Chain A
């Protein structure tokens, strides 16, 4: 006896309605034991979006969909909270996790490799070690940097001198070490790339964290912030107040300042109006969808993000290929919380499509980005987003907004957010 498509529809058709916490263990064990699966989903990238999609595809299909994740790294290192490594209240080892629990708990197949090509006609991907076929593909590669205007920063050697630290890992540790080695009275220079980029409030949170370290250890030092945007693009009033109240005299913020040139040897930065020299320099290059998205033709010429259908996250350009996370052109904040929500909507849609049902026509989810202004004080921006059938996009619902002021209470909730999102995504 094999579970066929009709049985599966019958099983999920009922159980999907009531939350699978109820679907009893024998049922999922039954579904898991039956072969063959009703379809195979291959996922490129085991970051916030890809790992979440893998888990919920297995959960919501009661194990009837085969899921294979291809991830280039052996470990998951969280960007959220990584600015606190610069401030000194977290270590990179607090933010590093393995994939073993996720794989084992949900029967997810895992390949440690890099995807180099996608063939949508043959429905297969190419990895360094060989090919893999799929029924549906999820592309969730995060962001890549654009070095066209800053070619001098493209090499690993240059990034050793001038890290971006915008993908958490050794570059984060490197930047922290450079701060520790900086002389008292030194100048830390960082930029904010032109939006959209990963994590709108992230650069301004970084300013707070570096300022917090300097205030405690090198109070005569300064931070120069070169923002390519016309103004602070998230939690503007709150950040301005935090810098003025908590870090007076430390933060020198300069809007409309696109970095046009960098001298790596002298750590000198040029903008249209300025030339500044740094003791420690952090350049966050402008961003685009992860490289594999472009290789797979999920982006159009001259626009580096992937257009998707917000009911299924299927690419508007390539059939049976879904895009998730930072790579999506959404007009919504590129955040970990958003990446996991998109992944859940997509996983549900794929389960329904494979079961021959129509996906939810009106998805709703929320985003919250917490920012730490000190080692333990945080503030939020939060919005609920609802699908607008006429416009075919997710739009902000009533009630969104930012904290009235940062607080220690929200610092505790932000820390709890991190623990819960890690556990939701990785177990």
Chain B
């Protein structure tokens, strides 16, 4: 019992201090707004910005680096196949929130999901 309470205390302390450091909560009325938006980038950039290919990693990206790149996509200054469409639809607050989010992620190299042989009895 005592041990678990200490764990909560520790975890909360740790999280609060990181939250202060990243100041995410001041960027959006609802704090979950940014992490849900960030999760929508996973489709092309991997969960928490760790893609299976290392072509465009976001996890651990420097905040300034991220902001510079996103703003260049948004203005059209940096030519892109598709990122300009994603950057243009976001507002400045969201881009700042995403910078804080992705810069705080730990870079990892997930391996691609192995495929399987389709079962004979699969219904479709």
Contact = CB atoms under 8 A, between A and B. Distances in A.
A17 B24 contact: yes
Contacts of A147: none
A27 B81 CA distance: 40
A420 interface: yes
A173 B118 CA distance: 10
B58 to A, nearest CB: 11
Interface in B11-46: 11-12, 14-16, 18-19, 22, 24-25, 29-40, 42-46
Interface in A33-89: 34, 56, 60, 72-75, 77
A244 to B, nearest CB: 23
A1 B25 contact: no
A264 to B, nearest CB: 19
B19 A18 contact: yes
B110 interface: yes
A19 B89 contact: no
A94 B118 CA distance: 9
Contacts of B63: none
Interface centre among B19, B25, B113, B117 (most CB of A within 10 A): B113
Nearest to B51: A420
Interface in A406-427: 407, 409-410, 413, 416-417, 419-424, 426-427
B122 A73 contact: yes
Nearest to A404: B81
A151 B33 CA distance: 46
A61 to B, nearest CB: 12
A14 interface: yes
Interface string A93-124: 11111100100000000000000000000000
Given A93-B115, A399-B88, A420-B42, A7 B59 contact: no
A207 interface: no
Tier of interface size on chain A: 35 or more
A375 to B, nearest CB: 18
B71 to A, nearest CB: 13
A426 B114 CA distance: 10
B9 to A, nearest CB: 11
B89 A94 contact: no
Given A168-B124, A399-B88, A419-B112, A361 B81 contact: no
A416 B122 contact: no
Interface centre among B15, B43, B81 (most CB of A within 10 A): B43
A148 interface: no
A382 B113 contact: no
A397 B89 contact: yes
Specify the main secondary structure of chain B where it touches its partner: helix
B43 A427 contact: no
A16 B31 CA distance: 7
A22 interface: yes
A368 to B, nearest CB: 6
A364 interface: yes
Nearest to B47: A424
A419 B19 contact: no
Contacts of A30: 4, 7-8, 11
B124 to A, nearest CB: 3
A19 B101 contact: yes
Given A92-B118, A423-B52, A413 B82 contact: yes
A22 B15 contact: yes
Nearest to B4: A1
A366 B43 CA distance: 10
Interface string A22-33: 111011001000
Interface centre among B10, B48, B115, B119 (most CB of A within 10 A): B115
A72 B14 CA distance: 42
A56 B15 contact: no
Given A366-B40, A420-B53, 17 more contacts: A18-B24, A18-B25, A19-B48, A56-B39, A60-B32, A75-B116, A348-B32, A362-B30, A363-B33, A365-B36, A380-B81, A397-B89, A399-B89, A419-B53, A419-B112, A420-B44, A421-B42
7 A-B pairs with the lowest CB-CB distances in the bound complex, closest first: A384-B89, A399-B88, A17-B31, A169-B124, A397-B89, A382-B85, A27-B11
8 contacts: A17-B35, A73-B124, A93-B116, A97-B113, A101-B113, A169-B124, A364-B37, A416-B52
